[in-house]
Amino acid sequence: MRFVVIGGDAAGMSAASRAKRNRPDLEVIVLEQSEDVSYSACGMPYNIADPDREMDDLVVRTAEAFREKQGIDLRTGYRVDTIDVGNREVSGVDFQGRAFHVPYDKLLIATGASAMPPDLPGFDLSGVFVLRSLEHGRMIRRFIKTAPVQKAIIIGMGYIALEMCESLRAREIDVVMVKPGPDLLPWMSREMSSVVRSEIEGHQVRLYPGRKIMGIEKKDDNLIVRCEDLDLEGQMVLVATGIRPNSDMAGRAGLVLGPSSEISVGRDMKTSNENIYSAGDCADAFHVVTGKKTWIPLALRANRGGWAVADNVTGKSVELEGVAGTAAFQVFDLQVARTGLGVKESEKSGFDPVEMVIKSRSRAHAHPGSSTLYVQMVGDRISGRILGAQMVGKESAAHRINALAVALHQAMTVEAFSRCDLAYAPPFGPVWDPMLTCANQLLKKLRG
Amino acid sequence: MRFVVIGGDAAGMSAASRAKRNRPDLEVIVLEQSEDVSYSACGMPYNIADPDREMDDLVVRTAEAFREKQGIDLRTGYRVDTIDVGNREVSGVDFQGRAFHVPYDKLLIATGASAMPPDLPGFDLSGVFVLRSLEHGRMIRRFIKTAPVQKAIIIGMGYIALEMCESLRAREIDVVMVKPGPDLLPWMSREMSSVVRSEIEGHQVRLYPGRKIMGIEKKDDNLIVRCEDLDLEGQMVLVATGIRPNSDMAGRAGLVLGPSSEISVGRDMKTSNENIYSAGDCADAFHVVTGKKTWIPLALRANRGGWAVADNVTGKSVELEGVAGTAAFQVFDLQVARTGLGVKESEKSGFDPVEMVIKSRSRAHAHPGSSTLYVQMVGDRISGRILGAQMVGKESAAHRINALAVALHQAMTVEAFSRCDLAYAPPFGPVWDPMLTCANQLLKKLRG
C-alpha cells in the first residue's frame, strides 16, 4: 500500500514517520514544495531576535534523516497542484520544472496555511515581509543583517506580530504596529488587554489600532505604510495580518471545505473523500467546548492530527477529541495565555456567559519577586460549565492555563474546578491559587 | 447561637471570618493559645533566608483587625485543655493563668499539628530548634543574628528540612542533613530524587541518610548530633522530623481519631460528635484517588476546610471533595512537585501501578534557557486511570503539576489526559508538553 503525503511540515512529517513506524512495509511518499521539512516554525521570532543564531538551528530533523533513517521517500521541491480523486493520483511540478504524477492508496493533505497579506498596492515591494516559512525567516534575517533597518512597521497585532515586535526590539530596531481593527487582542477582556498594551508601549513601541491601511509606497530608501490618516515610515514592513488554509487544491478536487476554506475532517481526520485525510493548519477540528467545528491552526494539533492519520492509515482506528484552543505567547516580560472561549465567542455559540476577571499575585503574600497575575474565567449561567479562561502576568500564566484546559476537556463546572487541590508553596502562588480565587468569585456571580 | 473555634491559624481564622460574613449576628469566639493568628507559616523558611526581613511581615491579618473590623471575639493567650461534650463547654487556662470556661453551640477544633522531635537525649538543648510556629521562626532569626552560627545540622529531609537547608545556605551557614530513613524523598522515583540530591550537594550540603540518631550533646559552644557511626558538630540544630496532629484533647473527649491520631471528619468536616467540627492540620480528609481516608496536612485544605465548617455552621450544607495531595516546593534552583499517589502508595491502596519517568525539556527545541524537566506519571493497569504524578526541574514543575491534579479530581485515564489540548509556545515547552509525552509513553506501557 502506498501512503502519499502532501506537505512536509509538522502534520505531514508526523504522519509519515508514525505510519512508517507502525508499518515498516508501507510505502510512504512525502511531496514537499520547499526544501525545508520538520522545523520549529513557532521558534522563528525568537531565532530572529538573536543575531548570533542561524535560522537552520530550528530544523528538528533533516530531509536526509527522514530518508535514510526512517525509509521515507521524501521529495523536496515537489509542488503538487492537482488531486485526481477518481484515479487516486496527485500531480504537479518538481524543482526542475518537470511534471510528476504519483498514484496513492491513501492521501494526506497537510498543506498548512499561508500568510494573507491584504490585496493592496505595495505589499510586494522589497523590504516587505511575511513570516510563515523558514525561507521567510532566512530572508528577514538576511535583510536585517545587510540593510540599515532603524525602524520597522508591523501590520497586524496577533501572536506573530507581537512576538516579532519583541524580536525586532531585541535587535534594537524601533517598531510601530498598526491594524485596521479597533482592539489589541479583541478576544481578551479589556482590562487585561490594556495590561498587554502597557507592556508593549513600555518597550517604546507605538500602537495604532483602528487605522485603515491604504497601501505601501517606496520613498528613497524607505517604505511608507499609508493609512487613511497616518503615514508610517521605516525601512522594513512585516505583514502579520492572519493566515488562510492552503486548501484551493482540495477545493478543486471537490472536498468539502468549511467557512474559512479550511478542509473539513471528521474525528478520524478523514475528509469528505474516503481515501483522503487532512491534518495540520489546513484542516478543521471539533471544539471541546462547543462540540462544533472550528479552525484554530496550532502546532500541537498538527502533530497530533498527523499521528492520528498515520494510525488510521495503518489499520488502527483512532478518533481525536476536539481542541480547546489553548495557546500562550510571550510579549516582552509578559506571558499571555488562553483556553476555550471568550465572552463574545461564548455568546455566538449560544451560551449565556458570565465573566470574572481578578487581579492576584504570582507568589505568596510577602514573598519576594511576586508580580501581578490577571485571571479571567468565563462560566455558563445555565450549565455552570467553564467555557474559557485567560491569563496575563510576568510568570506562570502559560503553565497555569493548562489546568483549565484539562477542565475544559472534562466539561467541568466552575464549582467542580473550584474544589481542586492545587499546589501551594510561597514561591509559586498564594494558598488559594489565583485560578481557584477566580473560580470562587465566578461561582458567586453565577449563583447571584 | 455561639460558634467557638479552638485555634487561630489558617483553618480557625478562615472559619471564624467566613462564619461572621455568612451570619453577622452569630457570636464567634476564637481561643488561640499563642499571640499569633493568621500568618503564612509556609513562608517562614523564605523569611529566615533574608536577614533584612522581619518575621512579622508574614502576618496576613492582625488580631486587632479580626476583632475590630470583623467583630470576632478573638482571645489570644487562651489555651484550651478540655472539651466537655456533654455540657458543650471548653475550658482551659488563659495567659494570666486564670481558668476559663466557654460554652458552645457549635465547636471547631483547629488545633493544627506540632513538630515531632524524637524522644532522645539533648533535643531540649539551647540551639536546638523546630520550625512550626511564628514564635519558632522568631527564635531562629534571633539565634542566627546573635550567635556565631557557622554550621547547622538539620535532622530530617522533608519539605521543611529542604526549604530550611536552602534558607540557611542563603545566610552563608554550612549545612549538613541527616536522617534515619534510607532515602531522600522516599515517595519519589529514584531517578528523580537523585536529581534533587545532586542539586542539594551542588550547594555544598552533605546528606547523611540512613543514620540512626542517638542524641544531641553540648560540647563547649557547639552541639554534637551523635549518630550510630557519625558525629556531626555545629552551632545549631534544626529538627524537622515530621509532625503529628494536635488531637490529644479531641481524643480525651471521645472523638474518633484515625491511624496517625488525626481527627476523623466526614465530607462535611463534622467529627464523630454532632456539634463538633475539625479542620486544618489536625483533621483527616478523603483522598480523591483512593476514595479512602488520608492525612495530608497542607495549607489549602486547611483554608478550604475552615470555609466549609463556617458554611455548615451557618446553615448552608457543604460537603468537600477529597484531597489529591498536590504539593510543590523549591530547593535551590529546583522545583519539586507532586500530586496523587506514588508507586508504593498505589500498591498499598490496591492498584496495579505502572510507572513512567521521562526526561524532557522545559522549553522548545533550540530555545535559549531551556533546562531538563523530569516527569513521572503512574497509571493503573486495570482501569487505565492516572494515579499520580511527580515533576522535578528548574522551571514550571510547580505550575505544570496542577493540570494533573485536575485530572486526578476527574478520575481521568492516562489516555484521556494524553488527548488534552495544552498550551505551546517555544519559551514554555516543546510542542508536546512533557506531561503529554509522559502520558503517551505511559499509555504504550499500560497497553504493552
Contacts of A311 (CB under 8 A, 6+ apart): A18, A22, A317, A318
Query: Would A177 be classed as within a structural domain?
Result: yes
Query: Would B436 be classed as within a structural domain?
Result: yes
Pull the grid cell for residue B62: 492582625
Q: For testing the chain B interface, which of A365, A406, A438 should be mutated: the one with the most B CBs within 10 Å? A: A406
Lowest mean per-residue pLDDT among A32-41, B70-79, B254-263, B289-298: A32-41
Pull the grid cell for residue B118: 524524637
Across the interface, of B50, B324, B416, the residue whose CB is closest to A421 is: B324
Percent of chain B exceeding pLDDT 70 equals 100
Across the interface, of A10, A337, A423, the residue whose CB is closest to B401 is: A423
Cβ distance of B330 and A420 shorter than 8 Å: no
Query: Would A346 be classed as within a structural domain?
Result: yes
Query: Would A52 be classed as within a structural domain?
Result: no
Pull the grid cell for residue B74: 478573638
**Distance, in angstroms, between A5 CA and closest chain B CA?**
21
Cβ distance of A405 and B398 shorter than 8 Å: no
Q: Band the pLDDT of A448: cuts 50, 70, 90.
A: confident
Is the CB of residue A365 less than 8 Å away from at least one CB of chain B? yes
Cβ distance of B425 and A42 shorter than 8 Å: yes
B336 contacts on A by Cβ (under 8 Å): none
3-state secondary structure chain B: CEEEEECCCHHHHHHHHHHHHHCCCCEEEEEECCCCCCECHHHHHHHHCCCCCCHHHHECCCHHHHHHHHCCEEEECEEEEEEECCCCEEEEEECCCCEEEEECCEEEECCCEEECCCCCCCCCCCCEECCCCHHHHHHHHHHHHHCCCCEEEEECCCHHHHHHHHHHHHCCCEEEEECCCCCCCCCCCHHHHHHHHHHHHCCCEEEECCCCEEEEEEECCEEEEEECCEEEEECEEEECCCEEECCHHHHHCCCCECCCCCECCCCCCECCCCCEEECCCCECEEECCCCCEECCCCHHHHHHHHHHHHHHHCCCCCCCCCECCCEEEEECCEEEEEEECCHHHHHHCCCCEEEEEEEEECCCCCCCCCCEEEEEEEEECCCCEEEEEEEEECCCHHHHHHHHHHHHHCCCEHHHHHCCCCCCCCCCCCCCCHHHHHHHHHHHHHHC
For the cut 90, the answer to whether the pLDDT of residue B366 exceeds it is: no
Mean pLDDT for chain A? 96
Residue B265 is part of which domain span? Answer: 2-41+58-113+243-313
B321 contacts on A by Cβ (under 8 Å): 419
Instruction: Decide if B423 contacts A389 (C-beta within 8 A).
Output: no
Q: How many domains does chain B have?
A: 3
The residues of B annotated as belonging to the active site are: 42
Query: Would B12 be classed as within a structural domain?
Result: yes
B337 contacts on A by Cβ (under 8 Å): 423
Query: Would B369 be classed as within a structural domain?
Result: yes
Cβ distance of B46 and A403 shorter than 8 Å: no
Cβ distance of B400 and A401 shorter than 8 Å: no
**CB < 8 Å from B in window 399-428 of A:** 399-403, 405-407, 409-410, 412, 416-417, 419-428
Is the CB of residue B43 less than 8 Å away from at least one CB of chain A? yes
Q: Are residues A262 and A371 in the same domain?
A: no
**Distance, in angstroms, between B381 CA and closest chain A CA?**
21
Mean pLDDT for chain B? 96
Q: Are residues B309 and B368 in the same domain?
A: no
Query: Would A43 be classed as within a structural domain?
Result: no
Q: Are residues B121 and B232 in the same domain?
A: yes
B324 contacts on A by Cβ (under 8 Å): 420-421
Q: Are residues A168 and A267 in the same domain?
A: no
Question: Among the three residues B191, B218, B239, which one is the final residue of a domain in this structure?
Answer: B239
Cβ distance of A406 and B401 shorter than 8 Å: no
Chain B residue at shortest CA distance from A409:
B420
Q: Are residues A438 and A418 in the same domain?
A: yes
What is the average pLDDT across A161-172? 97
**Rounded distance between C-alpha atoms, residue A153 and residue A217, angstroms:** 13
* Residue B171 CA: distances (Å) to CA of A38, A68, B60, B237: 49, 56, 25, 15
Cβ distance of B420 and A405 shorter than 8 Å: yes
Query: Would A320 be classed as within a structural domain?
Result: no
B432 contacts on A by Cβ (under 8 Å): 300, 303
Cβ distance of B405 and A423 shorter than 8 Å: yes
Tell me the per-residue pLDDT of A416-433, one tens digit each, with 9 for 90 and over.
999 999 999 999 999 999
Tell me the per-residue pLDDT of A193-237, one tens digit each, with 9 for 90 and over.
999 999 999 999 999 999 999 999 999 999 999 999 999 999 999
Tell me the per-residue pLDDT of B204-251, one tens digit each, with 9 for 90 and over.
999 999 999 999 999 999 999 999 999 999 999 999 999 999 999 999
Q: Which of A107, A223, A208, A204 is nearest to A157 (CA)?
A: A208
CATH number for the domain harbouring residue A304: 3.50.50.60
Q: Band the pLDDT of A150: cuts 50, 70, 90.
A: very high
3-state secondary structure chain A: CEEEEECCCHHHHHHHHHHHHHCCCCEEEEEECCCCCCECHHHHHHHHCCCCCCHHHHECCCHHHHHHHHCCEEEECCEEEEEECCCCEEEEECCCCCEEEEECCEEEECCCEEECCCCCCCCCCCCEECCCCHHHHHHHHHHHHHCCCCEEEEECCCHHHHHHHHHHHHCCCEEEEECCCCCCCCCCCHHHHHHHHHHHHCCCEEEECCCCEEEEEEECCEEEEEECCEEEEECEEEECCCEEECCHHHHHCCCCECCCCCECCCCCCECCCCCEEECCCCECEEECCCCCEECCCCHHHHHHHHHHHHHHHCCCCCCCCCECCCEEEEECCEEEEEEECCHHHHHHCCCCEEEEEEEEECCCCCCCCCCEEEEEEEEECCCCEEEEEEEEECCCHHHHHHHHHHHHHCCCEHHHHHCCCCCCCCCCCCCCCHHHHHHHHHHHHHHC
Q: Are residues A299 and A195 in the same domain?
A: no
Question: Among the three residues B284, B313, B342, which one is the final residue of a domain in this structure?
Answer: B313
Question: Among the three residues B313, B335, B355, which one is the final residue of a domain in this structure?
Answer: B313
Q: Are residues A71 and A24 in the same domain?
A: yes
Residue showing cell 540593510: A147
Q: For testing the chain B interface, which of A159, A421, A436 should be mutated: the one with the most B CBs within 10 Å? A: A421
Q: Tell the burial category of B355 from Cβ atoms under 10 Å away from its Cβ (0-12, 13-18, 19+).
A: middle
For the cut 90, the answer to whether the pLDDT of residue B365 exceeds it is: no
Is the CB of residue A43 less than 8 Å away from at least one CB of chain B? yes
**Distance, in angstroms, between A105 CA and closest chain B CA?**
28
Percent of chain B exceeding pLDDT 90 equals 97
**Distance, in angstroms, between A208 CA and closest chain B CA?**
26
Across the interface, of B337, B368, B399, the residue whose CB is closest to A400 is: B399
For the cut 90, the answer to whether the pLDDT of residue B262 exceeds it is: yes
Q: Band the pLDDT of A365: cuts 50, 70, 90.
A: confident
**Rounded distance between C-alpha atoms, residue B193 and residue B198, angstroms:** 9
Q: Which of B168, B170, B174 is nearest to B150 (CA)?
A: B174
Q: For testing the chain A interface, which of B399, B414, B443, B447 should be mutated: the one with the most A CBs within 10 Å? A: B399
What is the average pLDDT across A74-81? 98
Cβ distance of A425 and B325 shorter than 8 Å: no
**Rounded distance between C-alpha atoms, residue A60 and residue A76, angstroms:** 16
Look at the alpha carbons of B383, B387, B391, B395 in this order and tell me if their dihedral is positive or negative: positive
Q: Is this complex scored with an ipTM above 0.95?
A: yes
Q: For testing the chain B interface, which of A402, A409, A415, A444 should be mutated: the one with the most B CBs within 10 Å? A: A402
Is the CB of residue A431 less than 8 Å away from at least one CB of chain B? yes
Instruction: Decide if A152 contacts A236 (C-beta within 8 A).
Output: yes
Q: Are residues A149 and A95 in the same domain?
A: no
Chain B residue at shortest CA distance from A333:
B427
Q: Are residues B433 and B332 in the same domain?
A: yes
Q: Band the pLDDT of B276: cuts 50, 70, 90.
A: very high
- Backbone angles phi and psi of B380, in degrees to 5: -95, 125
Cβ distance of A46 and B368 shorter than 8 Å: yes
Look at the alpha carbons of B32, B38, B41, B45 in this order and tell me if their dihedral is positive or negative: negative
**Rounded distance between C-alpha atoms, residue A251 and residue A265, angstroms:** 13
Q: Are residues B74 and B181 in the same domain?
A: no
**Rounded distance between C-alpha atoms, residue A138 and residue A158, angstroms:** 21
Chain B residue at shortest CA distance from A326:
B423
Cβ distance of B424 and A335 shorter than 8 Å: no
Predicted TM-score of the model (pTM): 0.96
**CB < 8 Å from B in window 274-313 of A:** 288, 298-301, 303
The residue type found at B184 is L
Q: What is the reported pLDDT for B448? A: 82
Cβ distance of B403 and A403 shorter than 8 Å: yes
Across the interface, of B422, B427, B431, the residue whose CB is closest to A402 is: B422
- Residue pairs between chains A and B whose CB atoms are closer than 8 Å: 206
Cβ distance of B299 and A424 shorter than 8 Å: yes
**Rounded distance between C-alpha atoms, residue A236 and residue B309, angstroms:** 63
Q: For testing the chain A interface, which of B402, B432, B443, B447 should be mutated: the one with the most A CBs within 10 Å? A: B402
Cβ distance of A423 and B409 shorter than 8 Å: no
Is the CB of residue A398 less than 8 Å away from at least one CB of chain B? yes
What is the average pLDDT across B431-439? 98
Cβ distance of A409 and B422 shorter than 8 Å: no
The residues of A annotated as belonging to the active site are: 42
**CB < 8 Å from B in window 258-277 of A:** none
Q: Are residues B91 and B121 in the same domain?
A: no
What is the average pLDDT across B132-156? 96
**CB < 8 Å from A in window 121-150 of B:** none
Q: Are residues B251 and B108 in the same domain?
A: yes
Cβ distance of B424 and A42 shorter than 8 Å: yes
